[in-house]
Amino acid sequence: MRTQTSQLTIAVATKAVQAALDVAGKEKEKVSVAVVDRDWRPW
């Protein structure tokens, strides 16, 4: 069985993080976001 993985560029990951933070801010929610590499190490 073959496993497929997906990876984001740092630019796309940064946009996703910012979008999540923007939505949370508009809804008066507090969130934490982490970007990690494929080995789950912080970027």
Residue 40 scores a pLDDT above 90: no
Mean pLDDT calculated for residue range 2-30: 89
Claim: this prediction has a pTM higher than 0.75: no
- Residue 31 to residue 6: CA distance in whole angstroms: 24
Residue 15: half-sphere exposure toward Cβ, Cα within 13 Å: 4
Mean pLDDT calculated for residue range 4-14: 83
Tokens standing for 34?
């982490």
* The CA-based dihedral angle spanning residues 41, 20, 24, 42, taken in that order and rounded to the nearest 10 degrees: 10
pLDDT band at 33 (very low <50, low <70, confident <90, very high): confident
Between 11 and 38, where is the model more confident?
11
Residue 43 scores a pLDDT above 70: no
The pLDDT, as a whole number, for residue 26 is 97
Domain segments of the chain as ranges: 1-43
